[in-house]
Amino acid sequence: MIPLRDTVPSRCLPAATIGLIVVNILIFLQQRGLPPALQERFVYLFGLVPARFTQPAWAERMGLPLADWWPFLTHMFLHANWPHLIGNMWSLWIFGDNIEDRMGSGRFLLFYLLGGVAAGLAQFYMMPTSRVPMVGASGAVAAVLGAYFLLYPTARIIAMFPVFFYPFFFAVPAATYLFFWFLSQWWAAGLSQLMPARTGGVAWWAHIGGFLFGLLAHPFFTARRRPCRRRSRDEWAWEEFWQRW
């Protein structure tokens, strides 16, 4: 099931959401522009590798700094491939603008970053000896989904489900869509503990940790009054273009 858009138009120009998408794309292009050997080194240095902190002898052999905690932040700006990047940024675009509406750009940016850190900590706690680099914005995006689950439960998500290569479009309440999404993450996370080879190396616990962070922490970031200035005609035209698309 692929989400296409929601039915809640944003009141403010989602500057932080757009900025995050642009930064992620630029970093990915920089990453892909490196030679293959350097790409792997780049991922190990800035991705989150739990064994880096729990197996110092292995980390030393790999040439990874032992006292460098930046990967808990930097991992959320790296992606494995184009589908990985597009999937995360598409979800951020669909759900992020409304959460930014409720928080304001500054609070939303801090919420997003802390959500990504919380996701990394969850994955680290559950898979402390993993030597596979964790990369991607999905944990931070999951925090956005957790906030959306409680702030916009009655919104409609327009989704597409392919049936024998035929696209089937339908609308589903956001609470229903996100509830079953969360259940699927729990299922896959449990499977990853029992049969790691069947889970494809996805950081399922990071998704769960990010979502729970969004559920619990969003009230501390939500503004009492929606921090929205009057939008210009050009900004409304830009928003209308994206909503129609």
Domains and CATH numbers, the chain: 2-227 (1.20.1540.10)
Is the pTM of the predicted complex or chain greater than 0.75?
A: yes
Q: Which of 155, 162, 144 is nearest to 218 (CA)?
A: 144
CA-to-CA distance for 32 and 64, rounded, in angstroms?
21
What residues are paired with 169 via a beta bridge?
160
Spatial distance between the Cα atoms of 20 and 142, rounded to a whole number of angstroms: 15
For 130, the enclosing helix (H) or strand (E) is none
Distance from C-alpha of 12 to C-alpha of 138, rounded to nearest angstrom? 24
pLDDT given for residue 227 in this prediction: 58
- Give the model's pLDDT for residue 229: 54
Per the structure block, which two tokens stand in for 33? 């522009």
pLDDT value at residue 205: 93
Which amino acid is residue 40, in one-letter code? Answer: E
H or E element that contains 169: strand 166-173
State how far the Cα of 115 lies from the Cα of 92, in Å rounded to an integer: 13
What stretches in the chain show pLDDT beneath 50?
197-200, 232, 234-239, 241-245
**pLDDT computed for residue 199 by the predictor:** 44
Q: What is the pLDDT of residue 225?
A: 65
pLDDT score at 179: 96
pLDDT at 195 (0 to 100) = 64
